[in-house]
Amino acid sequence: MFEKFLHQAPFFRLVIALILGILFQINFPIINSSIIYITSSILFVTLLFAILKLTRNYAINKIWGVLVSLVLFFSGMQLVNINQQNTINFNNTKYTFVATLIEQPEEKEKVVKAIVKIDCIKDSVLWIRNNSKILCYFQKDSLTLNLNLGDQLIVQSHLNEIKHSGNPYSFNYKNYLSFKEIYNQCYVKADNFKIIAHDKGSIIRILSNRTRQKLLNIYQLNDISGDEFAVLSALTLGYKSELTPELKESFSASGAMHILAVSGLHVGIIFIILCKLLFPLQKNKYGKILQSIIIIAVLFFYAFLTGLSDSVLRATIMFSFISLGKMFTRQVNIYNTISASAFILLIINPYSIMNVGFQLSFAAVISIVFFQPKIYSLLSFKNKLPDYIWQLISVSIAAQIGTFPITIYYFEQFPAYFILTNILIIPTATLIVYGAILLFILSFSNLLSIYISKGLSFITFLLNSSVNFIEQLPYSKIDELNIDGSELTILIILIFSISFFIITKKLHFLKYSGWVLLGLMFYNISSNYLKSKKSILTVHNISGISAINIIEKNNTLFFCNKEMDLNEKNIKYNIAPLWQEYGIDEESIIPLQLCKSTNYFTFKNKRILQIKSNTINKYIPKEKINIDYIILSENININIIELNKYFEFEKLIFDSSNSFYKIKTWEKDCKKNNIAYYNVVDKGAFIEYL
């Protein structure tokens, strides 16, 4: 039965091989590019020879299948390798460069954040063409607030490599940006750039951005404002700049965050509307062709209106394949269609596989297609309303089966009332999309626009109220669900094993599922046991702050040079992930402010001294003392050579409360005198396990 499935969905085999090759090269970039190229070429030639020599049954021939898989595996590696070769690090040097804004800038609290693509860069005397993407933080003023997609600038700034803080279990922003092919960043002062041209770069994206802005203006002209405007803009046009942190948290906690990102749900609603409106065209061959052309054209036009984001383009390509499949055959193999769309997207950008939205989209769609009919068939209702509600419930459960491992892995939480959420928000979101389309079409009429916008605003208010109500329910979200990459892999294997049992009805797949579940339980128990026995010293990397963490037997001493609320942003993103991983609750944390000139403490058999005051001379010992680690903080005015006279130490640690220039001075002295040191700012958090 499985062989029959593979025969009906050939793209499934192709995309799996391609994905494995991409993932292998991303995680283990050890094979030389020339070796990959030569191997791919040999396999491709062998494949062509095999196709010519094999019988008519070559499509199911195992040799042919292995060759195809190997070619695609190495092709996936080569695609990643091509992207990796474009990496350029500028090593914190000041450059003059011409660049174009390739995304609409975002206003932040103190800066304007923008992604630019370098057109050319000045290397001493010559101008050299370059196409690197750079993350720019512009000093906020009236000029930077008016920057737009397509503006071309001449900029003078230091270009720095983006680095990971190294704080254990914290979000790796460097990796996240690298999958967007962004490896460097810069801070641009107001007087260090000048706009030299407008409307440069992709004219399609510029027009898309302008069109979306005109549609947003229609909302504002019809007095839609506040949270209603923020949610309506995000839900219908993918414009998220107006969403407040409170709104995002509310939608996230209730399990409704997916409706704020224009993606499969929204494109699916448009697709269903078009299929119903154009149903009469299905009566003949030419009508089917016309129907598919209209549907695909409208879907891409909707993608154009929503800013051509990756998520909406992904969904548009998927539904376009479904429409094309319907045009050529009555029965579309949805798995083949999904696989084909994923295959095309990965050929265009192999790093898409590392995008959370990509993973969630395809996991949700495949899970709904596979599990929903089976869940739906468990109950039947004669009345339409209960049947419709049961359809929504079955879709919600099916989507969660496929996406919950990914959700827990990335977001460490699970919405407890996701079924209630989807029962309320999917019909409401559908009405909002219908209403928005109607408002845009009839915006020429002031009278009609007023009535439609009032209705639209009220429905959006109901949506926000529903989401807020669900968020306020007891245990609306289950927090601190930490799983690592191994547990994620085991959970995915478990889902596949259960799926194979459902497909084949063979009991051994059910047995495999049991063994996989036992393996997951054993891994989790043993992992937690080992953590409870392991002690850890961390000198965290948080800009301008000295933070030291000592975890021993599920308790922690937390030293900081500033009074910090444990719920503060810096704690939440840089330190709390470590506490969560070790299962440490707030009652077990002992915060201590480092207020003395020197702080001495022991960790297992390690002796640690922190020096943070220029009055260190008062504390200099009369005799040389043995210390394992000396932590230097807050730009203390100390001579490294003198320090070596008074202390016998293993290593110096420069924490992140020191300035860049002070650390460089210390590094120079250490190198000159052969003194071991660790630079937290440069290398990431210092971590010692005992």
More confident residue, 113 or 377: 113
- Do 541 and 529 lie in a common domain? no
Residue 154 and residue 44 share a domain = no
pLDDT tens digits for 623-668? 778 888 888 888 888 878 777 777 888 899 999 888 888 888 898 9
pLDDT in tens, 153-173: 999 988 888 888 889 888 888
**Residue 210: its pLDDT value, please?**
87
Tokens describing residue 168: 């254990």
Cβ contact 262:238 at 8 Å: yes
Q: What is the mean pLDDT of the chain?
A: 81
Task: Give residue 101's pLDDT.
Answer: 92
What pLDDT, on a 0 to 100 scale, did the predictor assign at position 621?
A: 64
Q: How confident is the model at residue 411 (pLDDT cuts 50, 70, 90)?
A: confident
Burial of 94 (0-12, 13-18, 19+ CB in 10 A): exposed
Least confident of 2-6, 68-72, 112-116: 2-6
pLDDT band at 614 (very low <50, low <70, confident <90, very high): low
pLDDT band at 532 (very low <50, low <70, confident <90, very high): confident
- In which order are the strands placed within the sheet that holds 625-632? 598-603, 606-611, 625-632, 647-654, 677-679
> Are residues 412 and 504 both part of a single domain?
no
Return the pLDDT at 316: 85
Confidence of residue 138 (pLDDT cuts 50, 70, 90): very high
pTM of the model: 0.80
Q: How many CB atoms lie within 10 A of CB 668?
A: 11
The model's confidence at residue 34, banded by pLDDT at 50, 70 and 90, is low
- Which pLDDT value is given to residue 58? 45
**Domain shared by 109 and 43, yes or no:** no
211, 304 in Cβ contact below 8 A?
Answer: yes
Residue 45 has pLDDT above 70, yes or no: no
Statement to judge: residues 382 and 320 lie in one domain: yes
> Taking residues 545-567, what's their average pLDDT?
74
Does the pLDDT at position 92 exceed 80? no
Quick one: pLDDT at residue 7?
62
pLDDT band at 32 (very low <50, low <70, confident <90, very high): low
- Residue 594, pLDDT > 70, answer no
Same domain, residue pair 29 and 139: no
Q: What is the model's pLDDT at position 191?
A: 87
pLDDT of residue 49 exceeding 50:
yes
pLDDT of 59 > 80? The answer is: no
Q: Which of 462, 479, 496 is the last residue of a domain?
A: 479
Q: What is the pLDDT of residue 136?
A: 92
pLDDT of residue 517: 86
Same domain, 451 and 586: no
What whole-number percentage of the chain has pLDDT above 90?
Answer: 5
Q: How far is CA 217 from the centre of its chain?
A: 30
| pLDDT at 256 > cutoff 80 | no
- Radius of gyration, alpha carbons of the chain: 29
**pLDDT value at position 60?**
47
Residue-level pLDDT at 516: 85
Type of residue found at 314: R
- Tell me how many domains the chain contains: 5
Helices (H), 412-506: 418-441, 446-472, 485-504
Whether residue 678 is predicted with pLDDT greater than 90 in this model: the reply is yes
Residue 528 CA to residue 534 CA, distance in Å, equals: 10
Q: How much is the pLDDT for 2?
A: 56
Answer yes or no: do 261 and 326 share one domain: yes
603 and 564 in one domain?
yes
Mention every residue, 6+ apart, whose C-beta is less than 8 A from residue 550.
Answer: 535, 536, 537, 538, 556, 557, 558, 559, 601, 603
Q: Which helix (H) or strand (E) holds 470?
A: helix 446-472
Q: What is the pLDDT of residue 89?
A: 67
- Nearest CA-CA partner of 219 in 465, 463, 435: 435
What angle, rounded to 10 degrees, do the helices at 285-305 and 203-221 form?
A: 80
Q: Which domain holds residue 642?
A: 536-689
Gap between the Cα atoms of 385 and 521, Å rounded:
41
Q: What is the pLDDT of residues 329-345, one digit of tens each?
A: 656 678 888 888 888 88
Q: What is the mean predicted confidence (pLDDT) over 208-213?
A: 86
For range 429-449, the mean pLDDT: 86
Predicted confidence (pLDDT) at residue 436 exceeds the cutoff of 70:
yes
418 band by pLDDT with thresholds 50, 70 and 90: confident
pLDDT in tens, 279-320: 777 777 778 888 888 888 888 888 888 777 777 888 888 888
Same domain, yes or no: 493 and 417: no
The enclosing domain of 558 has a CATH number of 3.60.15.10
Domain final residue, candidates 201, 222, 247 = 201
Tokens of 122: 């000045």
| In the predicted structure, residue 146 carries a pLDDT above the cut 70 | yes
Is 682 found in the same domain as 656? yes
Is a pLDDT exceeding 80 seen at residue 43? no
Give me the CATH number covering residue 120.
Answer: 2.40.50.140
Same domain (yes/no): 551, 666: yes
Q: What is the pLDDT of residue 66?
A: 72
The per-residue pLDDT for range 180-207, each reduced to its tens digit, is: 888 889 999 888 889 999 888 888 888 8
The last residue of a domain, from among 533, 563, 597: 533
